[in-house]
């Protein structure tokens, strides 16, 4: 079940130009002015955004995630382009990544890609999660620049 409520706004016939939620209030910009509604989003702590890997580039060449089978030792530049979808939520935990069980690193705010450059031959495991706490990763990529690349979502 989705973690959001549907509310009905009864107003005279008007065009809505923008809607924003801030500090417990919904602001609705209309042709007749600004409409202000008190509204509290419940269960913010329980909300986990949707994480989606949009594409993977290997040495700047787009590669289908499902078709990644073998990487040569010179295919060591990997870029993961992703989306974070959080519909109707004012805030949520930030995205972190971890490479080979090293400490978790906060993904750059506003960025929707992660670039791994000049990877040495060997096995790699790249995980993504939301928040600083020990939680289950939302995606794990396993790859080897001289062997197989596996994906677990």
Those residues whose C-beta lies under 8 Å from the C-beta of residue 102, and which sit 6 or more positions away, are none
The token pair at 130 is 């939301």
Q: Which pLDDT belongs to residue 107?
A: 92
Q: Would the pTM count as exceeding 0.75?
A: no
Q: Which pLDDT belongs to residue 8?
A: 61
pLDDT-flagged residues of the chain (< 50) = 1-4, 43-44, 147-153
Per-residue pLDDT reduced to its tens digit, 54-94: 888 989 999 866 555 567 777 888 899 998 877 666 566 78
Q: Which pLDDT belongs to residue 2?
A: 45
Q: Which pLDDT belongs to residue 46?
A: 55
The span from the CA of 37 to the CA of 151, in Å, is: 44
């Amino acid at each position: 079940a989705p973690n959001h409520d549907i509310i009905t706004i009864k107003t005279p016939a008007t065009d809505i130009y923008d809607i924003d939620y801030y500090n417990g209030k919904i602001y609705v910009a209309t042709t007749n002015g600004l409409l202000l509604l008190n509204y509290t989003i419940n269960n913010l702590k329980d909300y986990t955004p949707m994480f989606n890997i949009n594409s993977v580039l290997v040495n700047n060449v787009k590669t289908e995630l499902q078709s990644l089978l073998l990487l040569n030792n010179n295919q060591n530049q990997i870029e993961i382009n992703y989306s974070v979808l959080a519909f109707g939520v004012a805030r949520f935990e930030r995205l972190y990544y971890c490479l080979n069980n090293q400490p978790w690193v906060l993904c750059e705010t506003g960025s929707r890609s992660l670039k791994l450059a000049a990877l040495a031959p060997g096995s790699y495991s790249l995980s993504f999660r939301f928040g600083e706490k020990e939680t289950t990763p939302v995606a794990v990529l396993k790859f080897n620049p001289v062997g197989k690349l596996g994906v677990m979502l």
